[in-house]
Amino acid sequence: MSKGFHRRNGALHCDGVALARVARDFGTPAWVYSQTVLEQRWRLFEKATADLDPTICYALKANSNQAVIATFAALGAGADIVSAGELARALAAGVPAKKIVFAGVGKSEAEMAMALEAGILQFNVESAPELARLSAVAQAMNTTASVAIRVNPDVDAKTHRKITTGKSENKFGVELAQARELAIAARRLKGVRIEALSTHIGSQITDVTPYRAAFRRVADLAKALRADGVALKRLDFGGGLGVVYRDETPPDLKAYAAAVRAAMKGTGFGLVLEPGRWLVADAGLLLARVEYVKQGTAKRYAILDAAMNDLIRPTLYEAWMPIEPVAKPRAGRKLPYDIVGPVCESGDFFAHDRQMPKLAEGDLVAVRQAGAYGSVMSSTYNARPLAPELLVKGTKIAEIRGRQSVEALIALDQLAPWQAGKSRRGK
């Protein structure tokens, strides 16, 4: 049986399940994930880096559905988190606390306390004020926090400006010179123990060169700190490895692992890696239906029942997403379509002037490579309930998040006490 997303007799399937059946049984729009692909991607990454013996922490921000996290946890994954909510999700899905790394520039006292109580592996601290706050919180709890200072190596990852994180003008991390000073000064702080350096230079990285530069700078700093008497145990090289959406040529795993290996050589440090997008993007798609085909003077529109509230990447990042019919594509020449949604915004689009086989009202389409930063970034704008998430393995399919009802959406709100009993006219 073919695995992952493929065509059988011209029709798109996920493992052994026809996507037309998914639409019939669960409706559209809907997110569909292949557990087989999730597992395959994990094993490929694990194999490529096996000789480095890393702690691999899945970056939950890419896709934080409990079933997705649990899939990786069962394979031995840790978690890279950026909020108390993600910490709770990771623990609930079975990720051991000692494999959890807490990143992010704005951790609150409550979040720090929750992570200390859980006993996580490390806090990736991003500023001197954060380190001071963590010290105070840990002392109040009569415990010690394991800390990695996140270093901003001032390396341009050559990715989209909204997802680059390793340049000096970005809000993330501590600049190289300041990081050394902070690590040395931190030895005088109670409640914290500097055990690591970390870095993360961006997402959807398609060239290994920035990795080499960033890893080398952080490794050199770690060696200098060791000479200064700072007892570091490990380096955390983050994630960000790119995938193919259109015509990108991201580094293959061999080249990526070689960059890590070169920086780690002879250091004796342990290693943490934090893949996210690379593990989940190819494992998911957004299934949608064409509501209308609208012909204008200059444009032809395919209006879907999915919208920017479901998948915001095209409008937020100008992201190019692969889109294809679910049924066997119609014969004949392709036609240009603006593929859009029903939300009342001109920014509600999936593609402009996309060459597609002829589309008709009622056709199903799949937005591919949507397993990362898709459902996890969705909203209920225009009072559109959240779409369901479905997990497929072989011929089995399960709803791993149900379709939100309008009633459930409205029930999240409540009237103020002085509004109770008022009529719709306010009389």
Q: Locate 86 and state its tokens.
A: 């993600």
pLDDT at residue 284 greater than cutoff 70: yes
pLDDT tier, 165 (very low <50, low <70, confident <90, very high otherwise): very low
pLDDT tier, 163 (very low <50, low <70, confident <90, very high otherwise): very low
pLDDT tier, 415 (very low <50, low <70, confident <90, very high otherwise): very high
pLDDT tier, 184 (very low <50, low <70, confident <90, very high otherwise): very high
Concatenated DSSP letters of 301-321: EEEES--TTT--HHHHH----
Averaged pLDDT of the chain: 93
CATH of domain 5-32+281-411: 2.40.37.10
* pLDDT (0 to 100) of residue 166: 41
pLDDT at residue 1 greater than cutoff 80: no
**Taking Cα atoms as reference points, which of 198, 63, 194 lies closest to residue 131?**
194
| Residue ranges covered by each domain of the chain | 5-32+281-411, 35-280
Per-residue pLDDT of 63-100, as tens digits, reads: 999 999 999 999 999 999 999 999 999 999 999 999 99
pLDDT at residue 234 greater than cutoff 90: yes
User: Which is more confidently placed, 259 or 172?
Assistant: 259
Is residue 329 classed as helix, strand or coil in its secondary structure?
Answer: coil
* pLDDT (0 to 100) of residue 157: 47
Q: Locate 120 and state its tokens.
A: 């996580």
User: Which is more confidently placed, 55 or 171?
Assistant: 55
* pLDDT (0 to 100) of residue 4: 95
CATH of domain 35-280: 3.20.20.10
Instruction: Classify each residue of 372-402 as buried b or exposed e, where b means 16 or more C-beta atoms within 10 Å of its C-beta.
Output: bbbbbbbeeeeebebbbbbbbbeeebeebbe
Task: State yes or no: is 344 an active-site residue.
Answer: yes
Same fold, 5-32+281-411 and 35-280: no
Per-residue pLDDT of 123-156, as tens digits, reads: 999 999 999 999 999 999 999 999 999 998 876 5
**Is pTM beyond 0.85 here?**
yes
- Select which of 298, 344, 383, 416 is catalytic: 344
